[in-house]
Structures are given as C-alpha cells and as structure tokens.
Amino acid sequence: MTEETQGRRSKHKRLWLALTAVVAILAILIVPPLVSVSHYKSRITQLVSASLGRPVRMSSVEVRLLPRPGFVLNDLAVEEDPAFGAEPIFHANTVTASIRLLSLWRGRLEIGSISADEASLNLVRTADGHWNLDSLLRTATARAQFAKDGAGLVRLPYLEAKNSRINIKNCAEKLPFSLLDAKMSLEQEHPGDWRVRLRGQPARTDLSIEQADTGIVRLEATLHQAPNLRQVPMHLDLEWREAQLGQLTRLVLGTDAGWRGDLTGELRLDGTVEAAQIKAQLRAIGVHRAEFAPAAPMDFDANCSLVAHYSTRAIDNLSCDSPLGSGHVRLTGNLPVSVPGQSALPRVSVELDRIPVAAGLDALRTVRSGLGANLVAAGLVSGKITYAPKAADGVAPEKPEHTGRARIAPAHPVFEEPLTGSFTVQGFQLSGDGLSSPILIPKLLLEPAPAFVSQPSGSSQVLAATAVIPAGGAAPLTVSTRLALSGYQVTVHGQASIARARELAHVAGLANTAALDALTGDPVSVDLTAEGPWMPAERIPFGTPPPSSDNLTGTVTLRNANWKADYLVNRVEISQATLHLAADELRWDPVVFSFGPLKGTASLTLPAACEAPQSCPPTFQVEFGALDARLIQTTFLGAEKRSTLLSTLLDRLRPSAAPAWPQLEGTIKAESLLVGPVTLHEPVANVRTVAGGAEITGFDAGLLGGRVHGNGTFHTAATPKDKPSYTLQGQFEQLRPQAVGQLLGLRATGSSFDGKGNLALSGFTGDDLAASAKGSLHFEWQRGSLAASGSAPVPPALVRFDRWSADAEIANGSLTLKDSQARRGASNEPIQGSVPLAIPPKIAFPASKQTPAKH
C-alpha cells in the first residue's frame, strides 16, 4: 500500500469521526427538548421500583445525555416496609439514574446506577431485633433472581449517595444518633453478593457537640446471600479515627465523662453476626482527666480477638494484649450464656508480665491531681488473677429457659469466691517529691480478699495487700490496701515521726497539711482509713448528690509537741491533742495546751468543704482556769514595756512582718478573769478574728454580785510606734450596792445598781491604758445609802436616797460625774465627784455647799 493511499484513508477516517461528533452534538442539543418523558414517568418509576424491590414515587423525570445517558429524578422517595414504619427508607430531592448502555442493544431499558446528593437514609430496628436493611437486601436479591421483565433479570443498580445523612430509629422512635456528611455506596456484584462502602462523621442531635472532634468512621464490607441478615456471611473492615475522648463520651453516653485524649479504633469482622470472628485494635494518645494536665499523659495500644454471638450475647475465645512499659497486660476468657441442659459461667483472666510500677503511677496521675509530678516509683508487677465463679457445693445451678435472648441470672445465685491467683510486686520503691528517704518494700503480694463495707453489694472480693513501713516511731506503720474495680480502701495504723508524717501526707496529696510544718515533738500515733472511687462521680444539676469522691476517717494523736505559728509571739506547748477526721469535718478535741503562763483545753473544728458564696471559717472553744487580764496581754503581745527583749517580738505581729490572724470564730471561757480592781466570774466571750485583731461579738460574766454583758474589738499595733487598741460597749445589771461601795471605798446599801457605758483605750501598761481611756458611763442606783469608811465625807444627799442617776465622762485618767442627781422624795440634789482610774479606785466628793432643794 502506497503512502498516497494510506493518506486518503486517514483523511476519510478523520472525516467520519468529525461527522459523528457533529451528529452527537446536534442530538444532544436538539433531541432532549423534542423528547417528552412525562408519559414515561410511570414506566421509569416501575423500573426503579423493580430494581430496589420497594415502592418508589417521584415528582418528575428529566432526560440527561451527558456525561452518560440517564434520567434526573426529582423528589425521589423509596417507601418503607410497613413492618418497619411509615416513613420512607430513603429520600432525596434530586437523584441521577444512569442507563446501562448494553441493555439498549438487547431492547431493554435498565438502570445502571443511582446517585443521590444530600439524601436521607433511615435505618430501623424492630423490637425483635430485625433491621429494615435486611428486608431491603433480601427483597432485592429475590427479585434479581426470580422477577423478570421481558427477556432478562431485574438487576439492582449501583447505589451511591454523597453529602447525605443516615438516621437510626428504634421502631417508630428516632434515636438522636446520626451519621453526617455521609458518603455511601451499595453494589450488587453478583446476585446475592453485596459490597458496601461508608464514610461519615458521627453526631448526636439532642446535644451540642463539637462535630470536628467526634472523628471519622469508615466502613467497607462484603456480604453474601443468606435467609436473614444474622446468617449473612460477611467480611467487614471498620475504622474510627481522630476521635476526641471527651466528645466521644458525650456522643455515646450523653455526658462528658471528663477524659481527654485522641482515640483511633480498627475492627475486622469475618463470619456471620451469629458467629463473628472479630479482631480489633484500639490506640489512645495523651489520655488524661479534663481537670488537670498530668506530667506524663497515658498512651496505650491494645489488640483483641474474640468470637461474638449476637443472639445469645456471648463472647468466646477473648484475648487482648497490650504492651505497657517494658511488660505486657493480657486479658483472656469466655463470657458464655446458659443453654438448655447446661450451665456455663464466665471465666476471665488478667495476666501482668513485668509491668513497671511507674506505669501504674502514671495511670493514677491521669485521675488524681494531688500526686506530685516529681514522685518516682520503681519495681515490677507480675502475676495472674482469674475470675471464675463456681456454684457452691450442694447447690445446683439454675437452668433457665432458652428464649434466644441473653440469659437472665437467678435473683439470688450462690457462688463460691470467684477470684483466684495473685499479683506480686518486687522491689517497690517510692522516692522524690520531698521524701528525705525512699519508701522501700522488697516484696508485696496482692491477693483476693473480702470486699470492704462501702463497696457495692455485687462486689464480693477485692485485691488486698499489707506492708510494714518504718516511719521513725516506736512502732512501724502498718499499711493495708484493698483495690476494687470501682475504688480503693487504705488503712494506716502505727507511729511516725512528725517530719516523716509530714512527708507522707504531702506525697498522698492530703489537703490542710500546712499546720504540720509548724509542729515538733514526739512521734504521732495514727489510725486512719481512706477510701473512695478511682474517679469522682459527676454532679448532675438538680439531681441526687453523688457520693463523696474520697473519704478520710480516723484519728491522729499528738503528745509532747510544740506548735509555732507566724502570727503568735510564743510557742504553744501541747501535752496531748487528738485530731478526729470525718467525711464532713476535721476536729481537734481535746487539745491540752499551755501558751506561756496560760494553761487550758481547747477544741477546733474545720469544715471539710464549703460551697461559695458561703463562709465557713473554723470554729473553736477554749477553756481556762483563773485568768489575769495583764497576764493575757503580756502573753499575746510580748511585754508590758517597750524597748525590752520581749517587746521586740511585737514586731512579728505587724502586717509587714507576719501574716494576719486566720479567720476563726469561737467561744472563750474561764473560771474567772481579773481586770484591774474587779474580778469577772465565769466569763464567756464569743470571738471572731479579723485582719489585725479580733471582734468580741458577745460577752457575759458575773460582776460585783450582778451580771455584765456587751461586745468590743481589739486591734494590734499597725506600726512599731503604735499601740494595741481596745473598744468596749456593755451594760451591767443587778450589781450589789455593797460590792460597788466597797470597790469605791464606801459603805453602801441599796436594792440595785444598773448602768451602761462605752470605753476606748490603748497601750501596753496599766498607766497607758488609764491615760488613754475615753468613754462615757450612765448608772442608776435605787433606794440606797452611802457612808464614808474613812476620812472622806459623803454628801448629805447620798446618806439616804430613793434614786441616784448619773452620767459620767471617762477622760484624762479618771471618771467624772457630769449630770448626777440624787432624789429623795420630791427633792433632787446635784452630786459631783470623780473616780481615778487607778487601784484602788477611791471616789472623791468635793466639799458640800448648802443649796436649795429643787422641787
């Protein structure tokens, strides 16, 4: 063949291709407008319905030639099987149905693929456990095999949807779980053989959830024909990536469980739903509690395999393995259910192979914020614990009726103790975080033991261990530990030096241990029990309060100890004190102490918790014997005179040198209190400390045969040049006139002596206080008489009177009568006089003058 001939043929070929393209373009432009498919709508509806095996309705049909010939179906809805509800199983506003070109050569019209965008698919489960998808697949398969249209079989088209939503329903109730932004496809490769692909983002419609943190779910599965979905042979690969634990728990449980971290899960299933061979891998990175960020978040990677039975809810051949540090954790077992004529009980084993104790400490740090970041643990844990309940001797296990569902256990089964085996901790050592010397336990054995009282009734056993730890006392500390799945219990009994007790309390993360820093003395005796859940229960608003997260109870006893606080001048010597710890408070009772020359007993109660905005200051009670006010001032303020060795200690009370007194409220009692020339009997004062001093909110005592009550304040010196100051307000009633007269150096009688007054004074010594005193006094004396006991005369009007009332001014070191009148019968006589603020306080009257009586 010549080159000229080949050239002519090439030109003819290109010409035919060009003509074909022109004809195709003209057909695309001209044919669709001229073709009306409205009278084919019923035919197309029947065709799609036959392909899916369900009734189908649509609003309109349009022809599409590019990129592939097909139809555009508007408002497509695939009806549901009435057994699963009335809502359509599938709905989309716009669906593209492509035609199988080869079917046109056979003179048939077949749908090759159906593609939807922004569609909605409902997955429904009935009360007996059947799914609507099972019905759809079986119906479509049956039609693909037996229903014919013309000369060929009806084939299920390739189904796909993008940007769609999958809803889950339980019977007629739509559950809040959905799959958003879903991309899914369903393909029947051969009659009875299905291929499913799915990708989407899990969501929950009844909660506000960060959708970006729920992860992405990918599924790819191959299904084969079977009478029902539970018997369908399948191969399934499921992957869930980029899920954040907090949002994942909100998605699944409806509430944030308080965990943080990134989770990835992979699952492979082979077999049927009734007998599925499952292999799974779960990886988590940076796991920790939401309340705090631990120094070392926890990572784990677990691989599991098992055989699952859907109908009986049984699990066989469970095997999980996870590396942890330099060792491995292995979980094996079977979780069967009973069948007629047999009774199978679960059996689960947990094996630890050289697990570092440090890994357990890191795990504990993910749920506990009080553990020090510098705490270092060493040692290895190995052993095996098996859970295998057995029926007790002489008790035949119940044989429940087989219903195809999960076995319901008898109300009161009788089992022997189910846990056997042990874990051994070798070379345990705890150091760092302020421990002057490490805690060493060469060998520790964890064995099954009866559950402690606060455990739930279903927990019959826990793992228990006991260790003896020398702590600087005459008797070592005996520490007993009980560990359960839900919580723990630790008891400590023995003696420890105060320094070691302080270190151990810090390591345990106990609150309110600052007072131990100021203690010295003999070893303390402890008898404590701590218990609680591993994680605190979540508080539900307006619901039942959850149980306390941790509960520390018991006693701590001090003997021959010294306590020195920054806000006190001298040390407090404690001969004996007992601390009682309870769930709601800490109480020191009794405390036998001496503070300088002051000796007494006290109790102090500290609330364990206080919810804002309430104020819950510690409360106290102090009881003394006989007291002297001058001695109290000397003890608390350091000295009566300035520029002495003791007075320099006063500087420690200044705000610039020492902290203010802690906020306290309480009661102070004494047998008696000597205040200058008078003695108060059985005084009781209600006191509240404030910044730089104290408030006496209430005061009551016996005085001169009567009673006195009032209130006052005390403030320390703000600067070295200042002096402590006092304010007093009060009233006295029913004072014995004989005692009042004796105080003033007179012989007196009368029925009653009542009054009230106020006083402000400051200073260290009696002279300072007397010179600075300012105030007022009002008194009334009924039906009395006065007589001089010495050379000082008494005004005639006071020899006998019906009523003597007076207002006096306190200033310049004396009390001066200002408006004073003695009344006898119808006459009033003015009385003048003054009383020095000294010991003794002798009253002085000026020489009497003859004045006419006032009527």
> Among 222, 253, 284, where does a domain finish?
253
Q: State the pLDDT at residue 299.
A: 81
Q: State the pLDDT at residue 103.
A: 54
Residues 623 and 751 in one domain: no
Is 295 part of a structural domain of the chain? no
Is pLDDT at 684 greater than 90 in this prediction? Answer: yes
Select, from the ranges 6-20, 286-300, 399-413, the one with the highest average predicted confidence (pLDDT).
Answer: 286-300
**Overall average pLDDT of the 712-723 stretch:** 77
Is 638 part of a structural domain of the chain? yes
Residue with tokens 């393909």: 187
**Overall average pLDDT of the 760-776 stretch:** 86
Q: What is the pLDDT of residues 235-281, one digit of tens each?
A: 999 999 888 888 888 888 777 777 788 889 999 999 988 889 999 99
Rounded (10°) CA dihedral 742, 743, 744, 746: 0
Picking from 743, 739, 780, 775, the residue whose alpha carbon sits closest to that of residue 760 is 775
Is 451 part of a structural domain of the chain? no
Residues 65 and 178 in one domain: yes
> What is the percent of the chain where pLDDT is above 70?
76
Q: What is the pLDDT of residues 44-98, one digit of tens each?
A: 777 777 767 788 888 888 777 666 677 788 888 888 888 888 888 888 888 888 8
Q: What is the pLDDT of residues 586-617, one digit of tens each?
A: 899 999 999 888 899 999 998 876 665 567 78
Residues 714 and 794 in one domain: no
Other C-beta atoms lying within 10 Å of the C-beta of residue 718: 15
**How far is residue 192's CA from residue 609's CA, in Å, rounded to a whole number?**
66
Lowest-confidence pick of 37-41, 238-242, 566-570, 696-700: 37-41
More confident site: 399 or 839: 839
**How far is residue 706's CA from residue 460's CA, in Å, rounded to a whole number?**
67
Q: State the pLDDT at residue 215.
A: 87
Tokens of residue 647, six digits: 């007075």
> Among 225, 253, 281, where does a domain finish?
253
Residues 703 and 745 in one domain: no
**Overall average pLDDT of the 519-526 stretch:** 92
Residues 702 and 766 in one domain: no
Lowest-confidence pick of 148-157, 219-228, 495-504: 148-157
Residue 299 in contact with residue 286, Cβ under 8 Å? yes
More confident site: 291 or 71: 71
Picking from 291, 221, 220, the residue whose alpha carbon sits closest to that of residue 260 is 291
Q: At what angle do helices 41-52 and 132-146 cross, to 10 degrees?
A: 110
* 769: alpha, beta or left? (left if phi > 0; alpha if psi -120 to 50): alpha
> Among 693, 722, 751, where does a domain finish?
722
In the chain, the number of structural domains is 3
Is 108 part of a structural domain of the chain? yes
Q: State the pLDDT at residue 545.
A: 42
Tokens of residue 540, six digits: 């539900």
**How far is residue 795's CA from residue 362's CA, in Å, rounded to a whole number?**
90
Is 679 part of a structural domain of the chain? yes
More confident site: 331 or 542: 331
Domain enclosing residue 227, as ranges: 27-253
Is 681 part of a structural domain of the chain? yes
Residues 741 and 702 in one domain: no
Residues 37 and 139 in one domain: yes
Asked whether the bond before 613 is cis by omega within 30 degrees of 0, the reply is: yes
Residues 227 and 105 in one domain: yes
**Overall average pLDDT of the 662-682 stretch:** 90
> What pLDDT band is residue 177 in, cutting at 50, 70 and 90?
confident
Is 107 part of a structural domain of the chain? yes
Picking from 735, 723, 642, the residue whose alpha carbon sits closest to that of residue 681 is 735
Lowest-confidence pick of 283-292, 340-349, 465-474, 690-699: 340-349
**DSSP string computed for 730-768:** EEEEEE-HHHHHHHHTEEEE-SEEEEEEEEEEE-SSHHH
Residues 600 and 668 in one domain: yes
**How far is residue 799's CA from residue 811's CA, in Å, rounded to a whole number?**
28
Lowest-confidence pick of 3-7, 73-77, 207-211, 417-421: 3-7
> What is the percent of the chain where pLDDT is above 90?
29
Is pLDDT at 654 greater than 50 in this prediction? Answer: no
Angle at 427 between CA 422 and CA 430, to 5 degrees: 110
Residues 625 and 758 in one domain: no
- Answering whether pTM is above 0.85, one says no
Q: State the pLDDT at residue 31.
A: 47
How many helical (H) and strand (E) elements, i.e. helices and strands, does the chain have? 10, 44
Angle at 259 between CA 255 and CA 260, to 5 degrees: 120
> What pLDDT band is residue 561 in, cutting at 50, 70 and 90?
very high
Select, from the ranges 103-112, 119-128, 203-212, the one with the highest average predicted confidence (pLDDT).
Answer: 119-128
Select, from the ranges 1-5, 363-367, 524-528, the one with the highest average predicted confidence (pLDDT).
Answer: 524-528
Reduced to 3 states, what is the DSSP secondary structure of residue 160? strand
Is 292 part of a structural domain of the chain? no
Residues 81 and 202 in one domain: yes
Q: What is the mean pLDDT of the chain?
A: 79
More confident site: 612 or 150: 612
| Surface-to-core class of residue 389, CB atoms within 10 Å of its CB (0-12 exposed, 13-18 middle, 19+ buried) | middle
Q: What is the pLDDT of residues 381-415, one digit of tens each?
A: 999 999 888 755 544 444 444 444 334 344 444 44
Residues 789 and 741 in one domain: yes
